[in-house]
């Protein structure tokens, strides 16, 4: 027994070591460098030098790092520069990583109120709207942690089942955990599918003609305004087939939108 | 009563037959593909004889109508195990002048059988201006192009419209003896017009000059934005024509291979006279709405409101007309009221709803101003105004409430005011970047994080193994004694060693014997008192121990007996040797048994 306990501790230690040398970690030097750059950008913003502030924020982004606060500040800077589409895009990216942040929500709401595109939220099927709302409450990492906790709880329940002979309550608890686990797994799968495989975008140009065909001379199907939400279906030769919130499909130039 | 019902059913059946242009007369069936025809085009008539084989029967001369025999087709049917050979005679009926023509009734004989041709009426129309709907206009243009396998016509519902007046547009693609694929939506030249998006295309079939064409209709609506003589169109549709690939057809496995040839068809353009909306008689609040509309109006709250609280005016415009260019109704101004921009929801074909919020600033306001909606009716060619209100309302004092000024516009169709600086009213930036992570790095992709999930599994197995052992120790006495045997023997041997160090030979041998006796009693789960060399030997043999170890054990116990029960002077080397042998036996038997 003593040997098993010793081995367990050793294994836990090794696994913890392995976990924290994963892809999420980066060196303290880089961390400090990014924080300094962020502070500089914030000072420039404070001094109303929005162009320089934006450049500094973009430097951090180009280094390969991101955070909700970074996207949020970029959104504010874009808004100050009058680039509404880019501002909404940045806020959406921030919200994707931090769905509960009230500041992001408030500024995004404000930015959306400045767009010329009529609201099409009600155009979607009610069930899709509900699903989108629920999915918007979670992040991929949040769901992953939730799943890991459920996983650990399940095994703890199993341990208690082994230790106690009369464990009807434990069995029920384990069954409930399995059910919740399946639900959370489904959510996570849908979330990953939505983030990794569905390209949602924001129109960056003032007014974009969506055409029936990927040709300059093709008939205009409908108009899209800066800040409009779209889903990119496919891209071909500098053109992208997109779907508007009311499910209308058309072709626009690929440089007219940014992916959230 | 029953007779009346039968008569009614027969009448209904007759009407249905007539409406489908089919009349049956014994063994003769007469089928007409249409009862209306435009000059220059034709109607196809089939006479189907149940049992016939000869040449086509002649048709009577009808003034202004030319009936010519087109072809004869054999028909074979099987009824009650009997094969019937019939004939279908196809005629083309071509009108020579406009009017209503009556064919029949008349009797005729064909192959010695008498038949009656029932009375049938056909209407010939002289020009397309007689017809309002674009589909029939289409048939005129189609008739001219009917020699082509594929052609496109463009039809509009009116050639004289007012600015902003909606008219219907139809691009009709005809094709026969050809397979078309990847048919694109039409591209329409529409300078001076605004065209709505095309609806989903409709497929149908149409007979033109005796040829059966497949048609695909693309419908939309449009309105003119500038007055004058305008040209609308032409329309162009691109598609792929599928033909059998002669090279691929030679291959046994790709006999049905098709080759796509990209082609396009273009229609003619249309002349449309666009008339400006009259300046004279324009009512107050007219903002360019053209059509025939109704307005439903609602106010909430209607009777009492506090100063600074909002009143919602809902104006729902329904009817027929141009909803795209329909602006919010005019609301009379009142200095004591704050007006927000209306929120708009619409369906481009049937309604538009304006939700207007107004806020009375003080209790001096005593009525909601009147709402005026004016439009131009193009059919009546006059302006119509719908006025609602003013509505009396009681405004209570604001108390401590601060009356808000409008901050942001929810106007969705107009540009924000030029002097409104963007970014005003947003929450300030964040001071810290928070937890920076690599872009696209999620926990579920992290190998380290995934590795951590082995821990609960390992923990579970540790608990499972430990618990199983603990239970066995608790419940299985033999197992517990076996497990206990070795550590206890070690302790007892240490006690013997102490006795040896004290040079107490008697105690040494006594301890050593008891130690080994207890060891084997535990090992074989035997009562300690009954353990003898013979019993140990028997059990060891049963457990499959080697004869060498069994010999060692036996000799050890024999030597112990001699040392304990014979008068003997204990010598230290011998005692040490005995202790060493005891240790060796304990170690050897630890794994073996």
In whole angstroms, give the CA distance from residue A107 to residue B139.
Answer: 58
Angstroms from B470 CA to nearest CA on chain A = 9
Contact across the interface for B432 and A151, Cβ inside 8 Å: no
- Which residue in the set B188, B442, B453 is minimally distant from A141, CB to CB? B442
CB B374 within 8 A of CB B331: no
Peptide bond connecting B390 to the previous residue in cis, omega within 30 degrees of 0: yes
In whole angstroms, give the CA distance from residue B353 to residue B343.
Answer: 8
- Which residue in the set B439, B446, B469 is minimally distant from A22, CB to CB? B446
Contact across the interface for B187 and A11, Cβ inside 8 Å: no
Of the candidates A243, A99, A128, A237, the one whose C-alpha atom is nearest the C-alpha of residue A253 is A237
- B50-60 burial by CB neighbour count: b if 16+ within 10 A, else e? bebeeebbebe
How many residues are given for chain A? 260
Task: Locate the chain A residue with the closest alpha carbon to B433.
Answer: A69
Contact across the interface for B197 and A221, Cβ inside 8 Å: yes
Contacts with B467 from chain A: Cβ below 8 Å: 162-163
Contacts with A118 from chain B: Cβ below 8 Å: 344-346, 412-413
- Which residue in the set B238, B448, B453 is minimally distant from A20, CB to CB? B448
Express each pLDDT in A51-90 by its tens digit. 899 998 998 888 888 899 999 999 999 988 888 899 999 9
Of the candidates A60, A64, A67, the one whose C-alpha atom is nearest the C-alpha of residue A93 is A67
Give the per-residue pLDDT at A23: 43
In whole angstroms, give the CA distance from residue B230 to residue B246.
Answer: 47
Give the per-residue pLDDT at A134: 81
Contact across the interface for A18 and B448, Cβ inside 8 Å: yes
Of the candidates A180, A256, A252, the one whose C-alpha atom is nearest the C-alpha of residue A220 is A252
CA distances in angstroms from A58 to A69, A163, B26, B79, listed in the order given: 13, 56, 88, 84
Angstroms from B363 CA to nearest CA on chain A = 31
Task: Locate the chain A residue with the closest alpha carbon to B468.
Answer: A162
Q: Which tokens is A106 given? A: 């408030």
Angstroms from B516 CA to nearest CA on chain A = 26
In whole angstroms, give the CA distance from residue B211 to residue B215.
Answer: 12
- Which residue in the set A1, A82, A144 is minimally distant from B442, CB to CB? A144
Contacts with B410 from chain A: Cβ below 8 Å: 113
Among A60-74, B138-152, B483-497, the least confident range? B138-152
For chain A positions 94-133, those within 8 Å of chain B (CB to CB) are 103, 106-107, 110-111, 113-119, 122
The ipTM assigned to this model is: 0.73
* Percent of chain B that is helix, strand, coil (3-state, to 5): 30, 35, 35
CB B131 within 8 A of CB B137: yes
Contact across the interface for B459 and A8, Cβ inside 8 Å: yes
* Positive or negative: CA dihedral B392, B398, B404, B410: negative
Q: Which tokens is B573 given? A: 């080397």
Bridge partners (DSSP) listed for residue B290:
B376
Contact across the interface for A24 and B454, Cβ inside 8 Å: no
In whole angstroms, give the CA distance from residue A238 to residue B30.
Answer: 59
CA distances in angstroms from A241 to A94, A248, B71, B199, B431, listed in the order given: 25, 11, 50, 19, 39
Express each pLDDT in B43-68 by its tens digit. 888 888 877 777 888 888 888 788 88
Interface test with B, best of A22, A98, A108, A220 (most B CBs within 10 A): A22
CB B178 within 8 A of CB B167: no
Task: Locate the chain A residue with the closest alpha carbon to B448.
Answer: A19
Contacts with B425 from chain A: Cβ below 8 Å: 110
Average pLDDT over residues B315-331: 85
In whole angstroms, give the CA distance from residue B42 to residue B39.
Answer: 8
Render each residue's pLDDT in chain A as its tens digit; 260 residues.
Answer: 455 555 555 555 555 555 444 444 455 677 788 888 888 888 888 888 888 999 989 988 888 888 999 999 999 999 888 888 999 999 999 988 888 888 888 888 888 888 776 666 555 667 777 777 788 788 888 899 999 999 999 998 888 888 886 677 888 888 999 999 999 999 899 888 888 888 889 998 888 888 888 888 888 888 888 888 899 998 888 899 998 877 888 899 988 899 88
Query: What phi, psi does B363 have (nearest 5°)?
Result: -80, 5
pTM: 0.43
A141 by Cβ neighbours in 10 Å (0-12 / 13-18 / 19+) ranks as middle
**How many residue pairs from chains A and B have C-beta atoms closer than 8 A?**
185
The more confidently predicted of residues B259 and B483 is B483
Interface test with B, best of A155, A190, A218 (most B CBs within 10 A): A155
Query: What phi, psi does B236 have (nearest 5°)?
Result: -135, 135
Contact across the interface for B437 and A24, Cβ inside 8 Å: yes
Task: Locate the chain A residue with the closest alpha carbon to B412.
Answer: A116
CA distances in angstroms from B425 to A80, B343, B380, listed in the order given: 11, 20, 50
């Amino acid at each position: 027994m003593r040997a098993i306990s010793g081995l367990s501790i050793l294994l836990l230690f090794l696994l913890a070591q392995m976990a924290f040398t994963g892809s999420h970690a980066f060196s303290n030097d880089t961390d400090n460098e990014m924080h300094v750059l962020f502070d500089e950008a914030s000072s420039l913003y404070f001094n109303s030098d929005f162009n320089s502030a934006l450049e500094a924020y973009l430097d951090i982004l180009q280094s390969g790092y991101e955070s909700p606060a970074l996207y949020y500040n970029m959104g504010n800077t874009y808004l100050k520069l009058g680039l509404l589409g880019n501002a909404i895009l940045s806020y959406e990216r921030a919200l994707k990583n931090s769905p509960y942040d009230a500041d992001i929500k408030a500024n995004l709401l404000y930015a959306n109120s400045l767009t010329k595109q009529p609201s099409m939220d009600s155009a979607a099927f009610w069930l899709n709207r509900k699903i989108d709302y629920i999915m918007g409450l979670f992040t991929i990492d949040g769901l992953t942690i939730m799943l890991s906790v459920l996983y650990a709880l399940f095994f703890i329940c199993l341990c208690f089942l082994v230790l106690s002979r009369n464990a009807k309550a434990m069995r029920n608890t384990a069954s409930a955990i399995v059910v919740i686990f399946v639900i959370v797994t489904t959510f996570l799968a849908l979330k990953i599918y939505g983030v990794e495989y569905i390209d949602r975008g924001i129109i960056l140009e003032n007014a974009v003609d969506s055409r029936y065909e990927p040709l300059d001379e093709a008939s205009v199907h409908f108009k899209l305004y800066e800040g409009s939400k779209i889903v990119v279906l496919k891209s071909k030769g500098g053109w992208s087939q997109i779907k508007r919130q009311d499910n209308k499909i058309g072709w626009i130039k690929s440089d007219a939108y940014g992916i959230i | 009563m029953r007779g009346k019902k039968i008569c009614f059913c027969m009448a209904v059946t007759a009407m249905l037959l007539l409406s489908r242009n089919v009349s049956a007369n014994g063994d003769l069936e007469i089928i007409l593909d249409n009862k209306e025809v435009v000059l220059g085009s034709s109607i196809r008539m089939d006479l189907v004889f149940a049992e016939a084989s000869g040449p086509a029967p002649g048709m009577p001369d009808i003034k202004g109508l030319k009936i010519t025999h087109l072809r004869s087709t054999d028909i074979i049917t099987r009824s009650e195990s009997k094969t019937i050979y019939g004939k279908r005679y196809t005629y083309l009926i071509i009108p020579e002048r406009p009017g209503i023509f009556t064919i029949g009734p008349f009797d005729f004989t064909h192959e010695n059988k008498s038949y009656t041709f029932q009375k049938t009426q056909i209407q010939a129309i002289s020009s397309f201006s007689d017809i309002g709907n674009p589909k029939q206009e289409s048939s005129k243009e189609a008739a001219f192009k009917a020699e082509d396998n594929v052609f496109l016509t463009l039809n509009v519902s009116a050639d004289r419209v007012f600015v902003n007046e909606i008219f219907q547009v139809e691009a009709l693609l005809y094709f026969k003896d050809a397979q078309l694929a990847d048919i694109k939506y039409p591209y329409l030249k529409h300078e001076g017009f605004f065209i709505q998006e095309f609806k989903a295309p409709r497929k149908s079939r149409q007979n033109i000059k005796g040829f059966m064409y497949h048609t695909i209709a693309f419908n939309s609506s449009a309105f003119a934005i500038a007055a004058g003589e305008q040209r609308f169109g032409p329309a162009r549709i691109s598609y792929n024509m599928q033909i059998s690939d002669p090279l691929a057809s030679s291959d046994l496995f790709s006999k049905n291979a098709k080759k796509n040839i990209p082609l396009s068809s273009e229609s003619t353009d249309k002349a449309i006279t666009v008339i400006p909306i009259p300046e004279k008689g324009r009512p107050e609040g007219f903002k360019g709405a053209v059509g025939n509309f109704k307005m439903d109006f609602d106010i909430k709250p209607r009777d009492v409101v506090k100063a600074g609280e909002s009143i919602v005016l809902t104006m729902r415009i329904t009817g027929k007309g141009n909803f795209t260019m329909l602006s919010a109704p005019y609301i009379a101004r009142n200095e004591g009221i704050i007006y927000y921009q209306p929120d708009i929801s619409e369906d481009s074909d049937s309604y538009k709803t304006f939700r207007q919020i107004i806020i009375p600033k003080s209790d001096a306001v005593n009525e909601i101003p009147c709402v005026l909606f004016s439009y131009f009716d193009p059919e009546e060619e006059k302006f119509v105004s719908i006025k609602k209100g003013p509505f009396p309302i009681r405004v209570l004092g604001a108390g401590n409430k601060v009356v808000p000024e409008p901050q942001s516009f929810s106007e969705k169709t107009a540009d924000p005011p030029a002097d409104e600086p963007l970014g005003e009213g947003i929450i300030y930036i964040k001071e810290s970047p928070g937890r920076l992570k690599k872009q696209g790095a999620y926990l579920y992709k992290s190998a380290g994080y995934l590795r951590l999930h082995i821990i609960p599994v390992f923990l579970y197995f540790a608990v499972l193994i430990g618990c199983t052992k603990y239970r066995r120790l608790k419940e299985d006495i033999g197992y517990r004694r076996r497990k206990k045997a070795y550590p206890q023997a070690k302790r007892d041997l240490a006690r013997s060693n102490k006795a040896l160090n004290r040079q107490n030979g008697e105690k040494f041998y006594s301890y050593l014997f008891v130690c080994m006796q207890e060891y084997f009693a535990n090992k074989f789960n035997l009562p300690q008192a009954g353990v003898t060399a013979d019993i140990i030997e028997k059990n060891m043999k049963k457990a499959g121990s080697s004869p060498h170890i069994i010999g060692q054990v036996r000799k050890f116990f024999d030597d112990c007996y001699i040392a304990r029960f014979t008068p003997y002077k204990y010598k230290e080397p011998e005692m040490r040797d005995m202790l060493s042998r005891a240790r060796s036996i304990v170690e050897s038997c630890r794994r073996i048994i």
